[in-house]
Amino acid sequence: MKDQSGDYTLNIEERNRLVTLSFSGRIDLETMESVNSRLDAFWESSHPAEIAADLSGVKYMDSAGAMLLLQLEEKAKDIGISFQFLHEKEEFKGIMNLLDMEALHIPPLISEGDQKGFFELLGEAAQRGYDDFIRVMTFIGELLTAMMHSLRHPLAVRWAAVFFYMKRVGVDGLPIVSLISLLVGVIIAFMSSLQLKQFGATTYVAALVGFAMVRELGPLMTAIIVAGRSGSAFSAEIGSMMINEEVDALTTMGFDPVRFLAIPKVLASILVVPLLTIYSAFFGIVGGLMVGVLGLDLTVHSFIKQTMESFKVFDVVSSLIKAAVFAMLISGIACQRGFQVRGGAEAVGAATTSAVVAGIFLIVLANSAFAIILYYIH
């Protein structure tokens, strides 16, 4: 192990414009800055005709120290000063011979983060957005083709994988969906009761919670949780497979990666997210019931009756359709982002983040479209 203690000394002797720089101690990474500033001061104050660097007292030199001395030699020779090393040990010569001083002057082959103007950045962002749109559209085309193929050839679907992802998305996600929905139900009931109390209409809390959970919040909350839990997992899984050339391996074995990897995830999501939505609505209503019964003196019977009257079969069916569409959007975009991964671990992280953000954006966008369409249909 290197002795980290110890220091260096640099004696400068000038006689008839011959300067002798006598180094001793350690000339290494530790002492480099200090030696460097001493040498800078020397160059400013002295104008020698000849320099001799005496290394007889140097006990230890590493490559940083060797570089420093070679740069000293280089600088002297550049301005026409004769330079020589005195008492250079063999081991120091060995280190110096390893260094390629030319390397210090070679400019980078690619420049570091060029400063770009506003319009250039705007143009690049627009180009990226356009490219991304094209990629998403292409993937949607591939996904729909693969889905049609799966409908025509159900036996070609990897059902074992579908059931595996149904468990991952559905069963494993049930506890968090239930808990969050229950709490959302509690919050809606509590907050609405504060307003409705002023008009003596607390009995409508049940209807409000039931309607909100079945029509809007059940599908929306479930979809957002699935995007965060499963969308990110799908994207990271496929992204890692891209990096490890597993997707290339599947392709060369004659498998369509979209059919092999994306279809089981998308199908599992479409099948299981509507079920999760039912659970979500149920637990939301249970949360409202808790507030209604414990805080608003409503009976269980009246709360349930009010709730059941608040929505119709159309609302339930449209909610389930919405959930299935959300599921397709979340899993589809997650797989697309996964397939887009190139490079290393950082790209997987970026794809995962992008999958969740794009997933949630698409959910909200689709929900807005549903709100308008369902209004006119109803």
Sequence-ordered alpha helix ranges (H) in 10-84: 32-45, 63-78
Is position 141 an interface residue for another protein (rule: CB under 8 A)?
no
Give 337's contacts (C-beta < 8 A, 6+ positions apart): 235, 239, 351, 352, 354, 355, 358
- Among the listed residues 98, 151, 194, 294, the single contact to another protein using CB under 8 A: 98
Q: Residues 288, 300: contact at Cβ < 8 Å?
A: no
Name the β-bridge partners of 37: none
Is position 107 an interface residue for another protein (rule: CB under 8 A)?
yes
Nearest distance from C-beta of residue 347 to another protein, angstroms: 8
Q: What distance in Å separates the CA atoms of residue 27 and residue 176, rounded to the nearest whole number?
A: 61
Which range, of 11-19, 210-218, 219-227, 337-345, touches another protein by CB under 8 A? Answer: 337-345
Name the β-bridge partners of 24: 9, 57
Could you give the angle at the alpha carbon of 216 between the alpha carbons of 337 and 209, nearest 5°? 140
Is position 36 an interface residue for another protein (rule: CB under 8 A)?
yes
Count of residues that bind another protein according to CB under 8 A: 37
Nearest distance from C-beta of residue 52 to another protein, angstroms: 24
Is position 28 an interface residue for another protein (rule: CB under 8 A)?
yes
Nearest distance from C-beta of residue 131 to another protein, angstroms: 19
**Tally of CB atoms within 10 A around 292:** 28
- Among the listed residues 79, 103, 155, 377, the single contact to another protein using CB under 8 A: 103
Is position 79 an interface residue for another protein (rule: CB under 8 A)?
no
- Among the listed residues 175, 200, 344, 377, the single contact to another protein using CB under 8 A: 344
Q: Residue 44 or 346: which CB sits closer to another protein?
A: 346
- Residues 197-236 within binding reach of another protein (CB under 8 A): none
For 313, counting Cβ atoms within 10 Å of its Cβ (0-12 exposed, 13-18 middle, 19+ buried), the class is exposed
Count Cα atoms within 13 angstroms, Cβ side, for 132. Answer: 13
Q: What distance in Å separates the CA atoms of residue 139 and residue 261, rounded to the nearest whole number?
A: 13
189 to each of 219, 264, 301, how far by Cα in Å? 18, 38, 17
Q: Residue 62 or 216: which CB sits closer to another protein?
A: 62
Is position 73 an interface residue for another protein (rule: CB under 8 A)?
no
Nearest distance from C-beta of residue 98 to another protein, angstroms: 4
Nearest distance from C-beta of residue 130 to another protein, angstroms: 24
- Among the listed residues 9, 17, 94, 121, the single contact to another protein using CB under 8 A: 94
Is position 111 an interface residue for another protein (rule: CB under 8 A)?
yes
Is position 346 an interface residue for another protein (rule: CB under 8 A)?
yes
Is position 153 an interface residue for another protein (rule: CB under 8 A)?
no
Is position 249 an interface residue for another protein (rule: CB under 8 A)?
no
Is position 175 an interface residue for another protein (rule: CB under 8 A)?
no
Q: Residue 16 or 111: which CB sits closer to another protein?
A: 111
Nearest distance from C-beta of residue 120 to another protein, angstroms: 19
220 to each of 121, 213, 247, 310, 370, how far by Cα in Å? 34, 9, 32, 19, 12
Q: Residue 28 or 237: which CB sits closer to another protein?
A: 28
Could you give the angle at the alpha carbon of 47 between the alpha carbons of 45 and 53, nearest 5°? 95
Among candidate residues 49, 45, 53, 47, the one with its CA nearest the CA of residue 8: 53
- Provide the token pair at 344: 């290393």
**Binding interface with another protein (CB under 8 A):** 1-2, 28-30, 32-33, 36, 62-64, 67, 71, 91, 94-95, 97-104, 106-112, 342-347
